[in-house]
């Protein structure tokens, strides 16, 4: 028996496997790039709330941004068809981890702007068209959802400053309350993920900035009467 031929056959199989693997990863990267483009479009639309006239038109801005949700869902559906279900985390999750965190942030920001409430993991998953359980298909990982919430704190601290500039003196007090509750919630978690721990430190800094704005408004006598 010619052992050299057997060895060549084995390595030819390895070569074919590696080529298929590379082809699949490129297909996934291509689909993720399309998802990232739509996510950027939604983020750009929402940035207009920081402008003086944007603060007065939050409902219209939110509706326009939400108009891109169907496209986001299409991207995730196409992506899920390319990824082998039994290899979701072990080999491919890093390809779309950041954009999914970004979409969790976008969805949470939309919910807050419209209701001033916290978007649950289920609400975010429904908005972007994914599931929560592996058995149901493509999922929103809990850590990705939490990362999105921590991005939200940074956006809201910036929103507070621009609200004051636009003459909206009540909003900082409401945002401070929301971020205080969000911070309290995160303190209940035993965060083992180093990235989440670092971002939680950012949340504490964001809350401090908002509280400083609130304090400044209070001592200047600019605290409005609370709305019913």
Same fold, 1-140 and 142-228: yes
| pLDDT, tens digit (0-9, with 9 covering 90-100), for 183-214 | 999 999 888 777 888 889 899 999 999 999 99
Q: How far apart are CA 185 and CA 33, in angstroms?
A: 33
| pLDDT, tens digit (0-9, with 9 covering 90-100), for 136-172 | 567 898 999 999 999 999 999 999 998 998 888 999 9
Is the domain spanning 142-228 CATH 1.20.58.200? The answer is yes
Question: Has residue 20 got a pLDDT over 70?
Answer: no
Say what the pLDDT of residue 137 is: 64
Question: Has residue 58 got a pLDDT over 60?
Answer: yes
Joined together, the tokens standing for residue 205 give 């800094």
Report domain 1-140's class. mainly alpha
Mean pLDDT of 34-42: 96
Dihedral in degrees, nearest 10, Cα atoms 104, 105, 106, 112: 110
Q: How far apart are CA 208 and CA 90, in angstroms?
A: 38
pTM: 0.86
| DSSP, residue by residue, 33-66 | HHHHHHHHHHHHHHHGGGSHHHHTTHHHHHHHHH
162 and 50 in contact (C-beta within 8 Å)? yes
The ranges assigned to domains in the chain are 1-140, 142-228
Q: How confident is the model at residue 2 (pLDDT cuts 50, 70, 90)?
A: low
Most confident region among 4-18, 40-54, 89-103 by mean pLDDT: 40-54
Q: How confident is the model at residue 4 (pLDDT cuts 50, 70, 90)?
A: low
Count other C-beta atoms under 10 Å from residue 225's C-beta.
Answer: 6
Mean pLDDT lowest for which of 53-62, 68-77, 81-90?
Answer: 81-90
Q: How confident is the model at residue 59 (pLDDT cuts 50, 70, 90)?
A: very high
Strands (E) located in 102-191: none
């Amino acid at each position: 028996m010619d052992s050299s031929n057997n060895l060549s056959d084995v390595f030819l199989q390895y070569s074919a496997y590696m080529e298929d693997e590379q082809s699949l990863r490129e297909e996934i990267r291509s689909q993720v790039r399309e998802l990232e483009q739509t996510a950027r479009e939604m983020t750009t639309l929402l940035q207009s709330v920081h402008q003086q006239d944007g603060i007065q038109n939050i409902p219209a801005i939110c509706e326009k941004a939400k108009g891109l949700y169907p496209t986001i869902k299409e991207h995730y559906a196409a992506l899920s068809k390319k990824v082998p279900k039994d290899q979701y985390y072990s080999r491919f999750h890093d390809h779309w981890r950041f954009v999914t965190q970004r979409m969790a942030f976008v969805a949470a920001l939309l919910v807050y702007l419209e209701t001033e409430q916290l978007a649950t993991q289920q609400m975010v998953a429904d908005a972007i068209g994914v599931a929560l359980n592996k058995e149901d298909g493509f999922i929103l990982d809990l850590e990705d959802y939490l990362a999105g919430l921590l991005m939200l704190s940074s956006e809201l601290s910036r929103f507070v400053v621009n609200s004051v500039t636009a003459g909206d003196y009540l909003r900082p007090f409401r945002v401070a309350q929301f971020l205080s509750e969000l911070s309290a919630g995160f303190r209940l978690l035993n965060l083992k993920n180093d990235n989440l721990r670092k971002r939680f430190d950012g949340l504490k800094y964001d809350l401090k900035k908002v509280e400083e704005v609130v304090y400044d408004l209070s001592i200047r006598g600019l605290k409005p009467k609370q709305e019913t």
